[in-house]
Each structure stands twice: as structure tokens, then as C-alpha cells.
Structure 1
Amino acid sequence: MTYIEYKFTILPLQPGRDILLAELSELPFESFEDFDKGLLAYIDESEDSQTLIEDIHILNSDEFEISYVKSTIEQVNWNEEWEKNFHPIYIDDRCTVRAPFHPKTNSEIDIIIEPKMSFGTGHHATTYQISEMLLNEDCTGKRVLDMGCGTGVLGILADIRGAKSVDYIDIDTWCVENTEENLNRNYCKGKVILGGAEKIKTEYDLILANINRNILLEDMTTYAAHLGSGGVIYFSGFYKEDLELIQKEALRNELTFVKNQIKENWVAAKFTKN
């Protein structure tokens, strides 16, 4: 199997690298690796094309200078690559997200995630912020939806914090398989569903939607329709400058803005349904 390496040089490096990583994660890249001036991204040659990255927002931003070169490489041991770069994440000194090969911690909540090719390890600002906010959310007895679940880490955190049930939905087959694996690793149960918002069939007390701005705007009516009275929904996966758009669409769907926080220009926002 032949792979293509994209070598992105980024200025300024941060938050440029994190933003680029989040956007590329929505494309069929299979592995990423940091280097001192930017980011390496790897994709199966059969998935590559001349137009693959032309719609990447940050590449067209005036705030960053990003260049890249492509090269063909031999097959890489992907597990070895992410093991070298995946370090435990500590959230508010209460929760640790770690890989199976890391030693067990003394954290109140110890989550084991093997991300493989799926997005959502807690390293990215969006996942980190929703995890942080969830630590202050009463999940006890709640029916929870992890929408765009990736690795399943957010739903697993809600499960460990006392949720009655958790459903996981993602459009990516690999994410569905990865979430099922991570549920087993953390002794959690849940229904993992392949698909998009059309797969939401029941009512929830708490919805976690860490996706991207366009999907959130497109599917918010469906999310709101399946959020019970008094329910809570968290949105993330969009930039600070997009918050007003999210708030307007939420208001149109009778969702009340509660608060938000910002990390590295990424927003996590909480809304409720009256």
C-alpha cells in the first residue's frame, strides 16, 4: 500500500497547527505527526486528489501563512506513530484520558482511549473544553447522545458520570468500530450507530455535538427536536467568529444560550431547551 505525505509548514505555529489538524481530520487522512515547523499528514494514495484540500478554511485565511509539499512514502506502522505522539491528557485534575499503554492514574475518572484513526482524544481544544464542561454537568440518570462521536470519549465520560444511557452516532465506519472498542475498554455500554442526524430517533436529556459549524447549522433543527424539555446541548467544533451564527440558529430552534468558553480560538457553548 502506498501513502502520500503532506508536509505543512505553518506560521504562526499555534493555534495554526491545531486548527489545521481539526480540519484535515474531516478528510480521509489516516495519521498525523507534529514536527517543529508544522504538521505531517498521511493519506492512502487512492484517496488523494488534486482538489482534496482546496476547501480547507485555514489554508485560505489571511491570519496564517501555510505552505505544503507532497511526497510518496512507504507504508508506515501507524500504531507505532500515534503511540510516540499520544500523551495522557489531564482535565481539571479530575479526569485523565490516556492510551492503553499508559499506566493507570490516580485521577477520579480514568478513561482509556485508543484513537487509531478517529478524532477525539482530548488533545484538541474542542474535545478538551466539552470534557471540562461535562465535569460540572449533572449527568446522573440522563439519556445522552454523543453526536459525531469519533472515539466516543465524550459519551464515555458522561456514562462514567452516571448517565442512564448513551447513544453514539457517527458517519464514519472506522469511528463506529473505534467507539465500540473504547466502550469495552472502559466497561461502558451504549448503542453505536452509523449515520448522521437522520439516525436520531429518540428524545435525549443531554446532547453532545462536537462536529463543525456547517453540520451544526444544517442539523440543529433535528437536534433541538430530539432534546427534551429542560434538556442541555453542548456545541463545539467551530471558531470564535462563528459563535454568533450558532447562537442565532439556536434561538430560531428555541434553544437558550447559557455560556461558552474559548480555547485557541475554538468555542464550546452550552444551550438549554425550555
Structure 2
Amino acid sequence: MQYLEFKINCKEDFREILIAELSEVGFDSFLETDHGIDAYIEEGLFSRDLYQDVIDQYQEAASIVVEEGVMEKVNWNEEWEKHYDPIAVGDEVYVRASFHAPKPEIKHEILINPKMSFGTGHHATTFLMLSHQLTVDHQGKRVIDIGAGTGILAIMAHKLGAGEVEAFDIDDWCVDNGNENFDLNGMQNVRMGLGTVREVAPQGTFDIVLANINKNVLLDELEIYASLVKSGGNLLLSGFYTHDIVDIQEKADSVGFKFLSQKDKDNWAALIFEKL
């Protein structure tokens, strides 16, 4: 599998925005560096026009300079070991890779073999979702993680005592990595599904639905989420900017949800709703 490599020098404030935008046009792996980000995409999935649209949008504001290259084979574990740092969510959650020392004094430890930027805890939206999960009772609850990525939110649900956990993603790489991470965290009975929420068609209703995707997908699928959440259950959403909250909340209200709380970080937002 041949990957194209883009070493992007940019202002620090634009790293997460560029990761989010590039992930929307097919890039599936990222490394944060001292000067910006390194972004990777399979050669067969690369669209020069879509990529250039993203770069042109932020070129001036982010002072972007790009060096392009090709990587025949990528050992993501080796690359991540060079760059990946553990993440702490307060003093309750510690997200680490297998090459980091454990911290037994922290209540919830999540092991991740990091192969993508989204879903490792480094991205603000994942951090916010984990923070929100700590405020919601998961004990014995039925939980589903939509667009699960590395599976970190499903793992958090398991750590918080969920009785049943389901998860799926549209990317087969995420499915493989998610199942690997489930195994690392004692969740051998949970296997990640492949597909969109319409394709997977989850059965029954859930006490908690988690969806950290992006604004357009969330708006398109919110009506389906409404059919999946039990009355009195919770919907946790992220993957959008703070200026998108109005649109998300308006759509959620229209399909039977009540807004409960909001967290934001670095201009990203995460919301909790209750199903009426």
C-alpha cells in the first residue's frame, strides 16, 4: 500500500482544523510535529483538487508551507511511538499506548494502539466526549458508538460499567484498529461493525448514543439517532465547531431531544441531549 506524505508547516492554532478538514477529503493518518502536521493518504484515494481547496482556504491565515513525498510502507506504530504522548482527562482518565508506563493511581486507563489522529484523545472532540461521558451514568446501560474510529469512546463506556456496548465505523481500517483496541482493554466480546448507521441498522434502542463525526453527517443522521435513543436516554454529539452549535441544537430539538449541557475546547464543541 503506497501512501502520499504531506509535511505541512503551519501555525499551531490551525493544526486541529487542518486535520479535521483533510480527514474529510480522504486523509486517514496524521502526526503532529514541532512545525505543524504530517498528513498521509493512500495514493488511490487522493484528489488533488479537494486537497488544494483545503490548503487554499487556510494558506494565508495559517502560513502554510507544504513538502510532498511518497512512503512505500508506513509502520504507524513506530511513527506514533516517536510522536504520541499520553492523554489525561482530569485525574479520572489516562489514555496511553502500550509503550507508555501505566498510571495505576488513575481510575480509568484506556490502552490504544494509535494509528490515526482522530480518536486517540489528542483531538479536542475526543477529549470533550470523554469528559462528557464521565458525567453520564453508564452502569448497566446499553451504549452504541457511531463512527467509532479507534473505539476509544466505546472503551470508555465499558470502563464506566456499560452492560452492552456496540460500535461501528465506515472505514475498514478503523474496524481493524478498533477491534485491536477492544482486545487490549478486555473487550473481546465486542466487535466493531462496518458501515454507516443506515447500513448497519442497529437493532432496538439504547440508553446512550455516542456520535463524534462531523456537522453534515450529524445533521443528516439525527433523525435516525432519535429512533435509537430510549425515552429519557442520552445522546452525546461532537465533531463540529462552536459556531455550528445552533444548527445542531435546532435539528436535535426538531427530532425530540432536549439540550442538557455543552463543553468546548479550541473552538470545537460537544453537546449532551436527553430524549423526550
TM over 0.5: yes
In the TM superposition, what is the alpha-carbon distance from 1:223 to its structure 2 partner? 0.5
Question: Structure 1 CA distance, aligned partners of 2:15 and 2:33?
Answer: 10
Report if aligned partners of 1:59, 1:66 keep a CA contact under 8 Å in 2.
Answer: no
Q: Counterpart in 2 of 1:53?
A: 51
More helix by share: 2
Question: Structure 1 CA distance, aligned partners of 2:155 and 2:114?
Answer: 13
- The amino acid that maps onto 1:32 is F
- The amino acid that maps onto 2:212 is N
Q: Counterpart in 2 of 1:196?
A: 196
Structure 1: stretches of 5+ with no match in the other structure: none
- The amino acid that maps onto 1:50 is R
TM-score (norm 1): 0.92
After superposing on structure 2, the runs of 4+ consecutive aligned residues of structure 1 that deviate more than 6 Å are: none
Question: Structure 2 CA distance, aligned partners of 1:201 and 1:118?
Answer: 30
TM-score (norm 2): 0.91
Report if aligned partners of 1:118, 1:150 keep a CA contact under 8 Å in 2.
Answer: no
Change beyond 3 A, Cα 1:73–1:187: closer
Question: Structure 1 CA distance, aligned partners of 2:225 and 2:84?
Answer: 32
1:146 paired to 2:148:
no
Question: Structure 2 CA distance, aligned partners of 1:63 and 1:213?
Answer: 23
Alpha carbon RMSD of aligned pairs, Å?
2.0
Question: Structure 1 CA distance, aligned partners of 2:274 and 2:53?
Answer: 32
Change beyond 3 A, Cα 1:247–1:171: same
Which of 66-75 and 132-141 deviates more? 66-75
In the TM superposition, what is the alpha-carbon distance from 1:266 to its structure 2 partner? 0.3
Q: Counterpart in 1 of 2:252?
A: 250
Query: Identical aligned pairs, as a percentage?
Result: 43
Report if aligned partners of 1:118, 1:151 keep a CA contact under 8 Å in 2.
Answer: no
In the TM superposition, what is the alpha-carbon distance from 1:79 to its structure 2 partner? 2.0
Which of 147-156 and 191-200 deviates more? 191-200
Q: How does 1:96-175 map to 2 (within 5 A)?
A: 96-106=94-104, 107-117=106-116, 119-175=118-174
Q: Counterpart in 1 of 2:76?
A: 78
- In the TM superposition, what whole-angstrom CA distance separates every residue of 1:145-186 from its partner, at most 9, and x where no partner exists? 101000111011111111110110110111111111111111
